[in-house]
Structure 1
C-alpha cells in the first residue's frame, strides 16, 4: 500500500486544538504518522485520570447521550470489549454493525454510509481488512473515525502499548524496542510511533516479509537512523529493553499458516532469545498468541511478560482517545 504523507490526508486529519495551546488534535485516528507528540502524551495523562476514577462514585460520564457505531469485519475480543465497555463507562452507548451494513461492495456507497452514520452517531470505530475503507469513511464523515485495526495498521494497539510502558516507568525516548516476526500491521504502527517518540526500533523479519517499503523508508528518514532492520533475531534483540512479537499468520491468511511456520521457525521468542535482551527487558505481544509458534509458554506466562497489562490498558487508553476525539480538548 502506498504511503500517504499529505498532512491534509485523513490519516492525520490534524487541526489546531480549540484551546489555543498549540497541540494538534486530530479529527480522526487512522494512523500514527503525523500525530502531534503532545496529543499522544496528553492521551496517556487522560487515561491515567480515567483509570483512577473508574468504578468510583465520582467516575465521569462525559459522553452521556453520545453513541458510537462499531463496525467490525474481523473477529475481536480485546478490541470489541475495550471499545464497547469504554463507551459505556464514559456514559455513552454503542451500536454494532457488520459487513452487511458497511462494506466497499455493499448495498450503499461508503460515502452515503459515512453521511448516515454522521447524522445519527457521534463516533465511528472500524475494525476491518481494507485500510482504504477506513480512509474513505473518514474522508466523508463529519464525526470522528477510529481505525481499530486494518491489514495496514493497528494504531490503538501501539498507543496502548506505549501507555503500558510509560506506566511501567520506562522512558519512551530512551527505549530500544526489538520486533521479531512478520512485517505486518502492528509493526507498521510501531514504525509510525518511532517518528513521534525517541525510542530505537530494531526489526528482525525474514526476507520476503518486510514491512511496507514506503513506510519503512519514511520512518527511517524521520527518525535519523533510529529504525534498523536485521535478518538475525539475535542481533535485533541483543540489549533491547522490549521484545515484541505477533502471530506469524494474520487474520485472513490462515491458508498460509503451514508454510509460514517453516519460514518463521527461527523467529520464535523463547527463553534463549530473551536472555540476549537487557536484564530488565520485558516481553510484549498484542494477542491472540499462537503458543509454541511465535512465542513459548515459558516467555508468554513468565515474569517478564506484560501481555495482561497490555490487554487491560486498551480499555483505559481508548477511553481517553474516544473522549478526546468526541468531546475535544475543552470537552466535558
Structure 2
C-alpha cells in the first residue's frame, strides 16, 4: 500500500502504527536493538529543502538496520527531463520504498501509480501525513487518547492532515482560520466522516477549554510573494499566552516567533513542539515497518513490549 494521505490508513491501522511508534520509542530509549528493516533501502526524493523530514527518515532507516538514499532536486528532476512515471518505475525496482517531498500532490499520485514499491508522502501541497503521525503520538503522550484539540491559523497541508487524523484518532477537533484561508470542503467532509469537527473564524472560541492548541507558520515555503497580504489576513490569530490559557502548545516547525506564536509560548513550559519534532522519528519508523514487513499493522513491537 501507499501512504499519500493520513486516511490511507483505517482508524484501526492508525492506532496500531501509533502503538508501534510508542514501543519503538521505548526501545530506542532503552537501547534495545530493533533492526526490523535490515537490508532494506528507502529512496528519498526532495524537491523542497527539509530538516526534520530528511533527518528523521534517514536516521530512522539506519536505526531499523536499513539504508536511505537522498536524492535532491539537482539529483533527480521530477517531471523535467524524465517523466514522473518513468522515475517511479525505476526507483520502485531499486528501492523497497520511496519517500517523496514534492510541491504538487499529483506527482505523488503518479509515483504511486507506477511504483512497485510503497510510496510515502514526506510533504505535498495538499497533505503532510508523516507530520500527523508525529502529532498524534504527541497527543497520546500529553493528553491521552481523548480530549479536545484546536487548530489556529492557516488551513494548509499540515492543518488538513491534522484535522482528518485527529478525528480518526477520536479527538474532538476545532479550528479557527481567516475566512480566505480556510479548509477545503473535501478536507472537512473527510474529517467529519470520523468524528466531531467544528470550524470557524474565532480563535478564542476554538481554543476555549482545549487541551492542546496547534498552529503553523502564516507564510509557508512558496508563499513569500503573498507575505504582506497574509500577515494582514492573520492579524488576531497569533497564539499568545492569553489565547493558550492552560492548554499545551504544538507547532510542526520551523517557527516564526512573533508572527503565528509569541516566543514565550513556543519556548515556554507548555510547549511540546520539541517532543513533537522528535516523534517524527519514532512515528515514521513504525510506518516504514508496517509498510515493508507486511504485518498488516499488527503492532508487533507493541505486543513484544507487553510480553
| Fold conserved between structures, TM > 0.5 | yes
> Which residue of structure 1 aligns with residue 266 of structure 2?
300
Residue 242 of structure 2 corresponds to: 272
1:154-195 per-residue CA deviation (whole Å, 9 max, x = no partner) reads 101111111112123x233x3111111011001110222144
| Distance in 2 (alpha carbons) for counterparts of 1:41 and 1:188 | 19
Answer whether contact 2:15 2:169 (CA < 8 A) is retained: no
Residues 55/196 of structure 1: CA separation in 2 closer, same or farther (3 Å cut): closer
- Long gaps (5+) in structure 2: 302-307
* Counterpart mapping for 1:136-155 below 5 A: 136-155=110-129
Partner of 2:225: 255
Q: What is the CA–CA distance in structure 1 between the aligned matches of 2:158 and 2:31, rounded to whole Å?
A: 37
- State yes or no: 1:166 paired with 2:153: no
Q: What are the superposed Cα offsets for residues 98-147 of structure 1, whole Å, 9 maximum, x if unpaired?
A: 23454443221111111100111111011111101111101111111100
- Aligned structure 1 segments of 4 or more residues deviating by more than 3 angstroms: 55-58, 100-104
**In the alignment, does 2:152 pair up with 1:180?**
yes
Greater relative contact order, per chain length (Cα 8 Å cut-off, separation 6+): 2
CA contact (8 A) 2:21 2:283 kept: yes
Residue 290 of structure 1: which of 235, 256, 265 is its match? 256
Structure 2 vs 1, CA of residues 228 and 103 (structure 1 numbering), >3 Å: closer, same or farther?
A: farther
Match of residue 213, structure 1, among 174, 185, 209: 185
C-alpha deviations, 1:15-43, integer Å up to 9, x for none? xxxxxxxxxxxx11110125212211211
Q: 1:60 and 1:219, CA in 2 relative to 1: closer, same or farther beyond 3 A?
A: closer
Cα distance 1:242–1:133, how it changes in 2: closer, same or farther (>3 A)?
A: same
Q: Is the 8 A contact 1:103 1:133 kept in 2?
A: no
TM-score normalised per structure 2: 0.92
The count of residues paired between Structure 1 and Structure 2 equals: 298
- Hey, what's the Cα distance between the residues in 1 that align with 2:176 and 2:68? 39
RMSD: 1.8
Native 8 Å contact 1:99 1:106 kept in 2? no
Match of 1:189 in 2: 161
Shift of 1:269: 0.1
Q: Distance in 2 between matches of 1:217 and 1:325?
A: 27
CA-to-partner distance for each residue in 1:267-326, whole Å, 9 max, x for gaps? 000011112xxx3x2100000000000000110011110011001111111111111111
